[in-house]
Structure 1
Amino acid sequence: MPRAWIAPSSAGGDGTLNAAAFGVIEAGLPLGILPLGTANDLARTLHIPFDLDGAAQVIADGHTRRIDLGIVNGEPFFNVASLGLSAELAQKLTRDIKRRWGRLGYALVALKVLAQARPFRATITSETESVRVRTLQIAVGNGRFYGGGNAVEKDAAIDDQHLDLYSLELERAWKLALMARSFRYGQHGAWEEVRAVRAKEFDIRTRRPRPINADGEIVTQTPAHFSIRPAAVTVFAPK
């Protein structure tokens, strides 16, 4: 039997893959990805086709790639872990909304979250500095894409052995509309209201505990320690 067919495979979205991460590491086998979720950002990062026949062919071809895994308070994430706007979005984006509206559901709920958004204070500590910020969102990226195709940072890669953090230090959420193109291509660090930092570890503290969204699921809360496990997971990926 070909090796590709005895390896573990995950059919679902980014949250499903997130839940399988530690099991795959323990099994010591490559992970096959069948993207059946709403955003499928890990598949997008790895250039895995969204159609099932194409994704299955990637597994059958047997080419593998080792990728990094982000960790926040002991919980894994492939794409992004964040607090603020995206965590509020994850809390309000129910399975029923995803099932009924698909990707349009993200936009509908996001508009509601943005209308109610207010900045919060946080302390961000990396290997080189510690800063206090007033922000709408802090996101820490391991992979390249999140939120259905936005780039974490224009040069980010899921095997670069670094985390990419950005902090949205805006007073009004409406200005995000002006930044939409920059976020799509990972160029938001060029805006003076966006703090961008690359490091291997981050600590984030807030005045009161705030939920943290990891790949679309609320998994922990602040205070939070973010780190990276280089080349922790082997996946089937196109050449």
Structure 2
Amino acid sequence: MAAGTQARGRALLLINRKARSGEEQAEAAEAALREVGIEPVPADMPDGTSCAEAIARGVARGDVDRVVVGGGDGTLNAAIPGLLEAGLPFGILPLGTANDLARSLGIPFELDGAARVIAEEAPRPVDLGEVNGHCYFNVASIGFSAELAGELKAEAKKRFGKLGYGVAALGLLRRARPFTVTLHHDGRKERARTIQVSVGNGKHYGGGMTVAEDARPDDGQLDVYSLEVRRWWRLVLLLPWLRSGTQGRWRDVRAFRTTALELHTRRPRPVNTDGELTTHTPAVFRMRPAALRVYAPPPGTG
């Protein structure tokens, strides 16, 4: 702890050393927390231990008042069950490839800045999306994004970073074919031919793509869009709108807000939650408002 720094708590520190910057930044992460007056208590993660198990064990063992997760969106997703069980506020040290939740919450990507947020900001509520019992922070997708997650191997993500997304997406894009979905929401039943349906809880996903321009991870709403394009090159034209979250203005994009959705496909299709394949269709989505508390700047200041 730096001289003159007032003690601000003890944090169970969970570092995913397999994340893009996890191994090389582990010691720096501990130092950044000490610099702002937080004493890190490293989580014990022997081989085969999940993030959720490590959190549960660490909270039960140590005198901690918060949990800090160092990693990317996949690490945060894996930590959700442990965070829910612990009932403690959590902080984020962005060490992953995309860091979309940190981006949505206005958390700096630099370790020093992220540590200051954990030390100085009050914890604020954050929602969770849930699909077939699997919780997520950012977005769940069926179609193109799920197929991309299946093809983008962990080693490629670590080696090439965001470029890995682009390389894999380019190869997959020309093979993308529309499929039929049935959507049940708000008393309606809708059928569509689509290449992707995304159900967002947060604002960003996929390394800077935007679910909706006014989406927030604490607004109590799921933002849904369906890409109902007939030709792959139309998706290329859509990319600037997908980055800004304004894709709903296109006539071949269906977009709406809801708190619950049931989605069916003719055959089971994988569902990608925060970059990991976790379940298959049929998919039942629901909102879990204010399920956790996170150290982050107030909304609108990030």
> TM-score interval w.r.t. the shorter chain?
over 0.9
2:41 is matched with none
Instruction: Give me the whole-angstrom Cα distance separating, in 2, the residues matched to 1:185 and 1:100.
Output: 27
Structure 1: segments with no counterpart, 5+ residues: none
Letter in 2 for 1:26: E
Q: Quote how far apart the aligned CAs of 1:148 are.
A: 1.1
1:149 is matched with 208
Q: Quote how far apart the aligned CAs of 1:157 are.
A: 0.9
Instruction: Give me the whole-angstrom Cα distance separating, in 2, the residues matched to 1:133 and 1:139.
Output: 13
Alignment of 1:18 with 2:24, yes or no, is no
Instruction: Give me the whole-angstrom Cα distance separating, in 2, the residues matched to 1:189 and 1:173.
Output: 18
Q: 2:8 aligns with which of 2, 17, 23?
A: 2
Structure 2: segments with no counterpart, 5+ residues: 1-6, 12-63
* Larger-Rg structure: 2
Query: How has the CA–CA distance of structure 1 residues 33 and 131 changed in structure 2, closer, same or farther, with 3 Å as cutoff?
Result: same
Letter in 2 for 1:141: G
1:102 is matched with 161
Instruction: Give me the whole-angstrom Cα distance separating, in 1, the residues matched to 2:285 and 2:232.
Output: 25
Which structure would you say has the larger RCO, counting Cα contacts within 8 Å and 6 or more residues apart?
Answer: 1
Q: Quote how far apart the aligned CAs of 1:184 are.
A: 1.1
Letter in 2 for 1:84: G
Structure 2 matches for 1:44-83, cutoff 5 A?
Answer: 44-83=103-142
Q: Is the CA contact (8 Å cut-off) linking 1:31 and 1:234 kept in structure 2?
A: yes
Instruction: Give me the whole-angstrom Cα distance separating, in 1, the residues matched to 2:219 and 2:105.
Output: 13
TM-score (norm 2): 0.77
Instruction: Give me the whole-angstrom Cα distance separating, in 2, the residues matched to 1:91 and 1:150.
Output: 18
Instruction: Give me the whole-angstrom Cα distance separating, in 2, the residues matched to 1:175 and 1:161.
Output: 31
2:182 is matched with 123
Q: Quote how far apart the aligned CAs of 1:140 are.
A: 0.1
Q: Quote how far apart the aligned CAs of 1:4 are.
A: 5.7
Letter in 2 for 1:81: A
CA deviation vs aligned residue, 1:36-64 (integer Å, no higher than 9, x gap): 11110000001101011111111111421
Identical positions, percent: 54
Q: SS at the partner of 1:100?
A: helix
CA deviation vs aligned residue, 1:115-141 (integer Å, no higher than 9, x gap): 110111110110131111110000000
TM-score (norm 1): 0.97
1:219 is matched with 278
